[in-house]
Amino acid sequence: MNKQQRFEHILGWFEANMPVAESELVYSNPYELLVAVMLSAQCTDKRVNMVTPALFEAYPTPEALAAATSDEVFEYVKSVSYPRSKAEHLVEMAQRLVNVYDSQVPDNIEDLQTLQGVGRKTANVVCAVIWNQPTMAVDTHIFRVSERIGLTTRSKNPLQTEKQLVRYIPEEVIPKAHHWLLLHGRYVCQARKPRCEECGIKEYCRFYGKNEKK
C-alpha cells in the first residue's frame, strides 16, 4: 500500500464512522476558544473545561481580561500546566487584541501569531475551528499518531508533520481531519499501549501491519 492509498483508506474510514468530529473544548465565541486553546497547551481539554467557566465569568471579554493582572488571572488557571506563564500570556494577548485588533480575534495565522503565547498550533486550531480554514494543527497526539499509522514518514518536528499531512488531505477535509487524528490518538491509538484490538483503521496502519508480520 502506498501513502496515497493509505490516506484514502484512513480518511474514508473516519468519514464513514466519525462524520462529526469537533473540539472537546467548551467555548461560545472566538475569544473564548483562543483562551481555551492557549490553556490547553500540555494540558488536557478536560482540565481546561473545568477552569474556563469561572475564568470566562470573571473575564467575559478581551477588554476585561486586558484590564486584569497576571496574578489575578493566575488564581483562575492555577490548576492547569504552567499557570504562571499562561496567566501572563493571556493578559498580554488580550491587551494586544484590544489595542491592535479592536478586540476581534484575527482570522489568519500570521496575525494570530503576533499575540503573546500564540504559536502556530494554536493559530491553526483557531483558524480551522472558527473559520473552517484548511489549517492542520499538529499537537503531540497528531505528531505521534500520524507517524505511527504511516501518514507521515520520519517527521522531526510538528511543521514537517503538518506539511506532509496537508499534501495528501483534501483542503475541505483538513479541519475535520485534525480532530479525527487527535481524538484517535487520545482514545484509541494511545502512546503507551495502542488499543489495536478495537481500532477501525488497523488494516491500513503501518504499525499494526509490521507487528502482524512479526
The whole-number pLDDT of residue 212 equals: 66
Distance CA 119, CA 112 (A): 8
How far apart CA 27 and CA 6 sit, in angstroms, is 34
Percent above pLDDT 90 for the chain = 94
Q: What is the pLDDT of residue 209?
A: 86
- What are the tens digits of pLDDT across the range 144-180? 999 999 999 999 999 999 999 999 999 999 999 999 9
Residue 13 confidence class, pLDDT cut points 50, 70, 90: very high
Model confidence at 213, in pLDDT bands (50, 70, 90)? Answer: low
pLDDT tens digit sequence for 104-131: 999 999 999 999 999 999 999 999 999 9
The H-assigned helical ranges of 27-154 are 30-39, 45-58, 62-66, 70-77, 83-101, 109-112, 120-131, 140-149
Say what the pLDDT of residue 189 is: 96
Catalytic sites, residue numbers: 121, 139
The pTM of this model reads 0.91
